[in-house]
Amino acid sequence: MSKAPSLLVRARALTGFAELVSDLGGDVDGLLSGVGMTTQMLAQPEATISMPGVVALLENAASQLAAPDFGLLLAKRQDFSALGPIALIASRANTVGKALVAIARNLPYHVARTSLRMQSGPAAGLAWLHYELPSEIGGEQRQSVEMCCLMLIQTLRMLSGDAGADWSVVLAHEPGLPLSRYREIFACEVACQQSGNGVIFPESFLAKVLDSGNPQIRVAVERFVAHLIRRNPLDLACQIEDLIARQLAGGGCSLADIARQLAMHERTLQRRLDAQQIRFVDILDRVRRKQAREFLAQPALPLSEVAILLGYSEQRSLSRACRRWFGTTPGALRTSS
Same domain for 86 and 201, yes or no, is yes
Q: How far apart are CA 66 and CA 25, in angstroms?
A: 11
Q: Which amino acid, 212? A: S
Q: Are 239 and 164 in contact (CB under 8 A)?
A: no
Same domain for 99 and 159, yes or no, is yes
**What pLDDT does residue 223 have?**
79
Same domain for 161 and 267, yes or no, is no
**Does 1 map to a domain?**
no
Same domain for 336 and 241, yes or no, is yes
**Does 215 map to a domain?**
no
Same domain for 116 and 183, yes or no, is yes
Query: Domain containing 299 — which CATH number?
Result: 1.10.10.60
For residue range 27-79, list pLDDT tens digits in order: 999 999 999 999 999 888 778 899 999 999 999 999 999 999 999 999 998 86
Return the minimum-mean-pLDDT range out of 85-94, 147-156, 193-202, 327-336: 85-94
**Does 202 map to a domain?**
yes
**Does 224 map to a domain?**
no
**Does 86 map to a domain?**
yes
Same domain for 89 and 194, yes or no, is yes
The pTM for the full model equals 0.79
Q: What percent of the chain has pLDDT over 90?
A: 56
Q: How far apart are CA 296 and CA 289, in angstroms?
A: 11
**What pLDDT does residue 337 have?**
65
Same domain for 36 and 54, yes or no, is yes
Same domain for 23 and 84, yes or no, is no
Count: domains in the chain: 3
What band does 251 get if pLDDT is binned at 50, 70 and 90? Answer: low
The pLDDT of residue 121 is above 80: yes
For residue range 296-310, list pLDDT tens digits in order: 988 878 899 899 889
Same domain for 32 and 102, yes or no, is no
Q: How far apart are CA 296 and CA 261, in angstroms?
A: 29
**Does 270 map to a domain?**
yes
What band does 3 get if pLDDT is binned at 50, 70 and 90? Answer: very low
Q: Which of 23, 52, 72 is the last residue of a domain?
A: 72
Task: Tell me which residue range forms the domain holding 66.
Answer: 8-72
Phi-psi region of 36 (alpha: psi -120 to 50; beta: other; left: phi over 0): left
Same domain for 187 and 111, yes or no, is yes
Cβ-Cβ contacts under 8 Å for 271 (sequence gap 6 or more): none
Helix (H, G, I), strand (E, B) or coil at 63: helix
**What pLDDT does residue 167 have?**
97
**Does 314 map to a domain?**
yes
**What pLDDT does residue 1 have?**
37
Helix (H, G, I), strand (E, B) or coil at 64: helix
**Does 155 map to a domain?**
yes
In this prediction, residues 93-112 reach a mean pLDDT of 83
Same domain for 66 and 84, yes or no, is no
Query: Domain containing 45 — which CATH number?
Result: 1.10.260
Mean pLDDT of the chain: 88
Same domain for 68 and 113, yes or no, is no
